[in-house]
Amino acid sequence: MSDPHGSAGGEGQAGRNLPPLRLHVPEPPARPGEAADFTHFDIPAAGAQPRPDETAQPGEMRDMAYGLVRVLDEEGRAAGPWDPRLPAETLLRMLRYMALTRAFDARMFRAQRQGKTSFYMKSTGEEAVSIGAALALSRDDMCFPSYRQQGILITRDWSIVDMMNQIYSNKGDRMKGRQLPIMYSAREAGFFSISGNLTTQYPQAVGWAMASAAKGDTRIAATWCGEGSTAEGDFHSACTFASVYRAPVIMNVVNNQWAISSFSGFAGAEATTFAARAVGYGIAGLRVDGNDVLAVYAATRWAADRARANAGPTLIEHFTYRVEGHSTSDDPSAYRSAEESSQWPLGDPIARLKQHCIAIGIWDEERHAAMDKELAEMVRDAAREAEKNGILGHGLHHPMESMFEDVFEEMPWHLKEQQQQMLDEWKAAGL
């Protein structure tokens, strides 16, 4: 067979003394057995970042996409123009919601290991991303989360028994056992049905925000995805739509460094920041210390005020670390340095807020220990309550014929026929 385009490296190339081309395949700084290496991170001092006006033109604030908004310093002091100056009561609520999320995660992770459900995903180390944002938004703003934002539901005081029913896929699961554990849906809490397909929620959030704007509503939308899935086309479609229509939406990229076993370099982190994606789309971009709940709160509040002022969307990169495995089906010791999570240079979000609350004299170690104990008991009691509705695989699920419901508003003949056939077959088999 002849090659119409000539052979690779054809005659014209011979003798031109060009170096061979090289393919760059990214490699993380440390693998299992190696010391964690964070020397490539440039971490500015807390309080050092300027705070532009909420209605600033994106072109005037490009530096924000390459810096790092930080409020809490190493001694637990709040510093600089991004300090939201929250009242003590709000700080302690933040602390409690983060601790409750971590206690919930611990309990549900254990439930999965005990065989009570098929799957779980912890948000350890990333609690500030959800809780800081949820407190900065209005309760009726619409959230289009990814799968690691359980902190939003907890911050909106959603029933943790209801969440557990979903995780156990039992007869109390409002989703009728149809979705993988943690794929919650809670319309009343302004929490959109979670998809297992990545970043599909991005253009949906933009569409919701566009609808809100077209209707002259005052509610805004917020959405979350991981740094890995910013590579999806949906992310870029969403950014284009958000920019074109100046949609009142906050687009959060949770950069937790790892997408299962692929480090952030496979989504482009070696080349630039994720907040810098905003620059090309001409939208406001902020890069935030995602383990600093005050910084997350302040950035979200800034973006929400901007959206409400019809000044357009904001893309926020939350720079954080996924302390645990991707899910209960993942073992990170197989691909990354074991030291990374304990040596993460931005610390632990709960420990940092606790330190701050103690430093300003509104909290102490005794109260913190008592709170942790109370929350552990609370989630234990909630789990016992949820387990009364059944655990996965123990028969207390929704009836099998419910499988055919909600495919359409009204069940068409072919689904009725298949439903009846299934029931007849089971009956004939004596089951």
List residues binding other proteins (CB under 8 A): 142, 144, 174-176, 178-179, 183, 185-187, 192-193, 195, 197, 200, 202-212, 214-215, 221, 233-234, 236-238, 240-241, 244, 406-409, 412-414
The least CB distance from residue 425 to other proteins, in Å, is 16
Distance between CA 72 and CA 382 in Å, rounded?
Answer: 33
Give 144-211 as a DSSP string: E--TT-HHHHHHTT--HHHHHHHHHT-TT-TTTT-S-TT---BGGGTBPPPPSSTTTHHHHHHHHHHH
Question: Measured at the alpha carbon of residue 185, what is the angle toward residues 183 and 186, in degrees to the nearest 5?
Answer: 145
Q: Which is nearer to other proteins, 192 or 344 (CB)?
A: 192
The least CB distance from residue 217 to other proteins, in Å, is 8
Give the total residue count for the chain: 431
The least CB distance from residue 366 to other proteins, in Å, is 42
Q: Which is nearer to other proteins, 164 or 206 (CB)?
A: 206
Question: Measured at the alpha carbon of residue 312, what is the angle toward residues 228 and 250, in degrees to the nearest 5?
Answer: 35
What is the enclosing helix (H) or strand (E) of 212?
helix 201-214
Residue 260 carries which side chain, given as an amino acid letter?
Answer: I
C-alpha distances out from residue 42 to 45, 259, 267, Å: 10, 21, 19
Q: Which is nearer to other proteins, 82 or 241 (CB)?
A: 241
Q: Which is nearer to other proteins, 161 or 198 (CB)?
A: 198
Q: Which is nearer to other proteins, 166 or 314 (CB)?
A: 166
Q: Which is nearer to other proteins, 32 or 412 (CB)?
A: 412
The least CB distance from residue 251 to other proteins, in Å, is 13
Distance between CA 176 and CA 354 in Å, rounded?
Answer: 39
Q: Which is nearer to other proteins, 211 or 362 (CB)?
A: 211
Residue recorded with tokens 């912890």: 122
Pairing relationship of beta strands 221-226 and 249-255 according to DSSP bridges: parallel
The least CB distance from residue 176 to other proteins, in Å, is 5
The least CB distance from residue 31 to other proteins, in Å, is 33
The least CB distance from residue 428 to other proteins, in Å, is 19
Question: Measured at the alpha carbon of residue 273, what is the angle toward residues 268 and 278, in degrees to the nearest 5?
Answer: 105
